[in-house]
Amino acid sequence: METLKRRLLDMLIIFVLWLLLTWSLDLQGVVAGAILAALFALVLSRLLPPHVERLFSPVRWFWALMHIISLAFWVVLANFDVMYRVLHPNLPIRPGIVKVKTTLKSDEAKAFLANSITLTPGTLTIDIIDDWLYVHWINVHESLEDTEAITRDIAGRFEVTLRRVFD
């Protein structure tokens, strides 16, 4: 019974998306959209996220917007930091690969965290293994064994909002 509810909800979401994309309420378009939505819900339902109804939570949308704003802020600051390092005569960098421990649980949240880190200049997420992200960092200023400080510096600012969006 649970899968039936899930597939009906998926069908409804796909059908509404169809109506929004076609922006038409003519009979042929509505019928075609309903048939395609039913077909996609039957065939592709297992590929959609498990809690698709979370997409409609205004609180999650608010926190997603807060994440985007904070990400933009940190990207601008990191751009200035990288620009300083590139233009400095002595090129003060200490590159290295560090381990970052995340407390996020869902795969989607970890992927968003990895992408947020990669969007920040001077960092590049290389791999995600379980709760660990491996990140290339332009200036490792902590001991490589101090994963708590590294996690706080690299991922701490993003995990707060991503936890509210995804978990």
The number of folded domains in the chain is: 2
Q: What is the structure's pLDDT at 6?
A: 76
pLDDT tens digits along 83-96: 998 898 888 888 88
- Which pLDDT band, with edges at 50, 70 and 90, does 2 fall under? low
Query: What is the reported pLDDT for 156?
Result: 86
Taking only the tens place, the pLDDT of each residue in 35-85 is 999 988 888 766 666 666 666 778 888 988 999 999 999 999 999 988 998
To the nearest 10°, report the CA torsion of 75, 80, 82, 84: -170
Domain that holds residue 35: 2-54
- Do residue 49 and residue 98 come from a single domain? no
**Burial of 152 (C-beta count, 10 Å sphere; 0-12/13-18/19+):** middle
Residues 63 and 46 in one domain: no
> How many angstroms separate the CA atoms of 44 and 149, rounded?
42
**148 and 122 inside one domain:** yes
Q: How large a percentage of the chain has pLDDT more than 70?
A: 90
Question: Do 47 and 83 belong together in one domain?
Answer: no
* pLDDT computed for residue 115 by the predictor: 94
Residue 11 CA to residue 33 CA, distance in Å, equals: 10
Residues 77, 49 share a domain: no
